[in-house]
Amino acid sequence: QTTVEPTSAERAEKLQGMGCKRKRVEDIRFTQGKGNYVDDVKLPGMLFGDFVRSSHAHARIKSIDTSKAKALPGVFAVLTAADLKPLNLHYMPTLAGDVQAVLADEKVLFQNQEVAFVVAKDRYVAADAIELVEVDYEPLPVLVDPFKAMEPDAPLLREDIKDKMTGAHGARKHHNHIFRWEIGDKEGTDATFAKAEVVSKDMFTYHRVHPSPLETCQCVASMDKIKGELTLWGTFQAPHVIRTVVSLISGLPEHKIHVIAPDIGGGFGNKVGAYSGYVCAVVASIVLGVPVKWVEDRMENLSTTSFARDYHMTTELAATKDGKILAMRCHVLADHGAFDACADPSKWPAGFMNICTGSYDMPVAHLAVDGVYTNKASGGVAYRCSFRVTEAVYAIERAIETLAQRLEMDSADLRIKNFIQPEQFPYMAPLGWEYDSGNYPLAMKKAMDTVGYHQLRAEQKAKQEAFKRGETREIMGIGISFFTEIVGAGPSKNCDILGVSMFDSAEIRIHPTGSVIARMGTKSQGQGHETTYAQIIATELGIPADDIMIEEGNTDTAPYGLGTYGSRSTPTAGAATAVAARKIKAKAQMIAAHMLEVHEGDLEWDVDRFRVKGLPEKFKTMKELAWASYNSPPPNLEPGLEAVNYYDPPNMTYPFGAYFCIMDIDVDTGVAKTRRFYALDDCGTRINPMIIEGQVHGGLTEAFAVAMGQEIRYDEQGNVLGASFMDFFLPTAVETPKWETDYTVTPSPHHPIGAKGVGESPHVGGVPCFSNAVNDAYAFLNAGHIQMPHDAWRLWKVGEQLGLHV
C-alpha cells in the first residue's frame, strides 16, 4: 500500500492562510467569559479613583472644599488642579497641539468636566466622597452654537491662551478660533465656479455623536517606588503612544514604564487619546505608592471622553448642464469643544477631510476648515472612520444627490458619469491624495444589477403617484453611496503623532519545533488580529495558522507601533508582518540550499517547503528548516529564525464600495423601515472573508445608529442631553436591519499582499447611504436637505413641515 502525498492545494488548505474563513481564535475565550479586560485587573491594596465633575458648562471656580470628603473613612486623597500645578500636570498636551486641563483650573469649560479626583478604598466610598466635595461656581455665559463662536462679543472661553494668537496650525482670528486650514487651488476653483453653468450649494451638518464602545475607558496605574517603575494597564488603542506620552509628561524614563493593553471591549476611536483619568490615576499611584484603578461609567464616557463629528459643511459643486462635475468648494465650521483634542496625525487639523472630492474626477477643488471652541466636551475622534473621512464622504455623497435633483438627473447616472476611470489609477486627486487603485464602474454595475436598480426606480415612481393620489401613506427611498476611503496612516512623509512617524511593526520568531510567536505594534479591540495576522504568516511561511500565536498590547514585548485606528493595522502592521515573514523565508532558503547542497536559485517555494527545481522529491519543509536553524545552521549564518520589520508604507490604501439602501417611511409616524441594505466592498486582497463580513456588519450597524438616531445634543445652557443609553441610540438586534454583503477585489499595488483596510469602510459608506435613502424618499415632496439624525420624531416633524399630516 502506498500513501499518496497530499497535493499542494491540499497542503495549502490545511494552513488556513489568507483567503480562508478561519474561525476567530480569540472567540474561544470571549464567548466563554474568559477575556481579560482592564476591570479584571485586581491588585493587592488597589484603590479606586473617581471624578468630581462640573455641573456647569461654563463657570468660574471660586473655591473647592475637599475637607469633608477627605474626612470620610476610606478616602485616601482628593486631588485638585492646585495639587497638580506644582508638578506641572494640571494641563496635558493634546494630539492636536493644544493643551487640555487635567483637572479644571480656575474655571470649567464644559458640563461634566473633571474638577477633582477622589481616591478611596473602593468605588462606593469614592462615589460617596464625590458628593462631599463642595465646589462654589460662578456661572459664565455659555457658548453652544459654533456659528456664534467668532462673533465679536462671544464669551471668552480659553483664558489660558487668550493672548496666544497663533495656535498649532497657524493664526487665530478670534479668542474662540482654533485654526483655519486651507487646501487646494482657491483661484482656479473660484474661476471655474464663476463661469459654471450650474452651481449646486448646500449646508450639510454632520451632528455630534460618540463611539460608545461597550467597555468604557479605564486604567490601572501601579507605581513600584522601589524599582521606580510604573505599570499602566489600560484600554489603549495605541499602547506605545501612551507610553511615550506618559514618559514625556511625567518625566519617568520610557524604559521604566510598562504599558499593557489587555483585551479591549471595542474602541471605535474612543480609546486613542489620553484622558484625565489616566493622568490622575498615575499621579495618585505615584503619590500614594499603591495601585489605583479608574473606570468611567456610561454617562462619563458619553459626555466627556472624545466625541466625534460636529462638522457644519457648506458644500458646492460646479457642473455642466449635462452633469459633468468641474469643481468642488467646501467650507467646514468645526466645533471642537473646549479643548482641541482631536485625534489626528499632527499635520492634519481636520484629518483627511480633503478626501472630500470622493470617487469623482474633477480638475480643481478647494477646502477650508475653521475650528472653533465651544462649551462642549473636547475630542473629535475618528469614530469608525479614518480621520474625518466619514464627514468628507457624507459631504460629497449628499452633494451628488442634491446636484442630481437640481439637474433632474438620475443620481446613479451622475455618479457613473463622473467616476475616476480604472485606467486613471494611480490617480492624483485635486486636494492632494494619490488614490492607489480602484475599479469604480465595475463595482457600481455589480451593485446596481444585484439590487435591480432600474426596477426599483420604476417601483418608486409608481408609489409616488399612489401617494399623490392618497392611496398610501408610505413613501419609498433609494439610498446610494459610492465611497472612497483613505486608510493606513501612514506614510511618514505626511503622518506623525507627536513627532513619531506613523509606521507600524511586526516581529516574528520561529521556535525550533516550527511553531511561532509574532508580535505587532497594533492592538486589536475586537477586530480579530490574533486570527488574521496568523493567516498572513501561514501563507507566507507555510506554517499552519494554528501553530502561530499572535500577541499585541504589551509595550515590553511588542515592537514599537502606532496602534490600531484609522483601519491602519492591515495596511501598516499587516504589511510589516508579510515583510518580516519574507525575511525569514529568505534565511530559510539559505538553510535549505545548504542542506540540499544546491544553489539558492535552484530552489522553488511550494506552499510549505523549498524544492529543488526539477527534482521535486528533494525538498525541505519549513518545519525541518526551523529545526535546522537551531540545530545545524550553515557556517557563517547565525542560528535561529526570526525577523522584525518596521514598515513605513509608501502610500495610504484606498478601499471603496457601492452601497444601496431601500427604505419605506410612514409619513404619519416617521418610522423608517430598511427593506434592503446591500453593501459591496472592495478592500483589495481579502485575508479572512468571514472577519471582513463581520467588520462590515458592525460598521453598518454603527452607520445605521449614527444616521438614524445617535446624537450628543446640548441645550442652550450647555447641558448635555445624550449622555445615557436612554437618550443615546445604541441599536440592538431588534432595530438593526439585515445586511447583504458583496465584494470586488482590486489589490493595492504597493501593499506587499495587496490588502487595503476595511474596518471603517462600512461606516463611511453606510451613513450617507441611509441619509440619502431618507432624503430620496422625501425628495419628490420638495423637502430640501433633511439633516441627520433621521429618527422617527424628526421625520414626523418633516411630515408636519411639509403639511403631510392629515
Q: Which residues are catalytic?
A: 237, 384-385, 760
Instruction: With H, G, I as helix, E, B as strand and everything else as coil, classify residue 362.
Output: coil
Identity of residue 625 = L
Q: Which of 332, 755, 773, 795 binds ligand PCD (CB under 6 A)?
A: 755
Q: How far apart are CA 372 and CA 75, in angstroms?
A: 39
Binding piece for ligand PCD, criterion CB under 6 A, among 94-102, 249-257, 382-390, 420-428? 382-390
Identity of residue 609 = R
Residue 456 near residue 448 (C-beta atoms within 8 A):
no
**Residue 490 contacts ligand PCD per CB under 6 A:** no
Residue 379 near residue 305 (C-beta atoms within 8 A):
yes
372 vs 487 by CB, closer to ligand PCD: 487
684 vs 722 by CB, closer to ligand PCD: 684
Q: Which of 620, 686, 751, 790 binds ligand PCD (CB under 6 A)?
A: 686
Binding piece for ligand PCD, criterion CB under 6 A, among 441-449, 565-573, 601-609, 734-742? 565-573
Q: Which of 542, 684, 709, 766 binds ligand PCD (CB under 6 A)?
A: 684
Least separation in angstroms between CB 413 and ligand PCD: 30
* Residues 298-337: x where in contact with ligand PCD by CB under 6 A, - otherwise, as a string: ----------------------------------------
**Residue 695 contacts ligand PCD per CB under 6 A:** yes
Least separation in angstroms between CB 569 and ligand PCD: 3
Binding piece for ligand PCD, criterion CB under 6 A, among 136-144, 265-273, 369-377, 656-664? 265-273
Centroid of chain to Cα 778: 31
* Residues 524-543: x where in contact with ligand PCD by CB under 6 A, - otherwise, as a string: -xxxxx--x-----------
Instruction: List the beta strands (DSSP E) in 596-651.
Output: 603-606, 609-612, 615-621, 641-647
Distances (CA, A) of 769 to 248, 394, 568, 611, 661: 43, 9, 24, 51, 6
**Residue 569 contacts ligand PCD per CB under 6 A:** yes
- Each residue of 108-135: b (16+ CB within 10 Å) or e? bbbbbbbbbbbbbeebebbeebbebbeb
**Residue 570 contacts ligand PCD per CB under 6 A:** yes
Centroid of chain to Cα 172: 28
* Residues 196-235: x where in contact with ligand PCD by CB under 6 A, - otherwise, as a string: -----------------x----------------------
Least separation in angstroms between CB 533 and ligand PCD: 7
Q: How far apart are CA 310 and CA 659, in angstroms?
A: 24
What element of type H or E holds 535? helix 529-541
Least separation in angstroms between CB 10 and ligand PCD: 23
**Could you say which residues in the range 95-124 bind ligand PCD, by CB under 6 A?**
none
**Residue 564 contacts ligand PCD per CB under 6 A:** yes
**Residue 477 contacts ligand PCD per CB under 6 A:** no
Residue 281 near residue 221 (C-beta atoms within 8 A):
yes
Binding piece for ligand PCD, criterion CB under 6 A, among 30-38, 62-70, 757-765, 789-797? 757-765
Binding piece for ligand PCD, criterion CB under 6 A, among 135-143, 329-337, 510-518, 691-699? 691-699
**Rg over CA atoms, the chain:** 28
Q: How far apart are CA 328 and CA 412, in angstroms?
A: 19
Q: Which of 262, 269, 358, 722 binds ligand PCD (CB under 6 A)?
A: 269
**Residue 267 contacts ligand PCD per CB under 6 A:** yes
**Residue 17 contacts ligand PCD per CB under 6 A:** no
Q: Which of 682, 760, 776, 791 binds ligand PCD (CB under 6 A)?
A: 760
Cell of 312: 457644519
Identity of residue 137 = Y
Least separation in angstroms between CB 467 and ligand PCD: 39
| Close Cβ partners of 501 (under 8 Å, ≥ 6 residues apart) | 492, 495, 648
Contacts 24+ apart (CB under 8 A), 630-638: 630/512, 631/512, 633/591, 634/590, 634/591, 634/594, 637/587, 637/590, 637/591, 637/594
Q: How far apart are CA 202 and CA 403, in angstroms?
A: 10
Contacts to ligand PCD by CB under 6 A: 213, 237, 266-269, 382-384, 525-529, 532, 564-570, 683-688, 691-692, 695, 698, 755-760
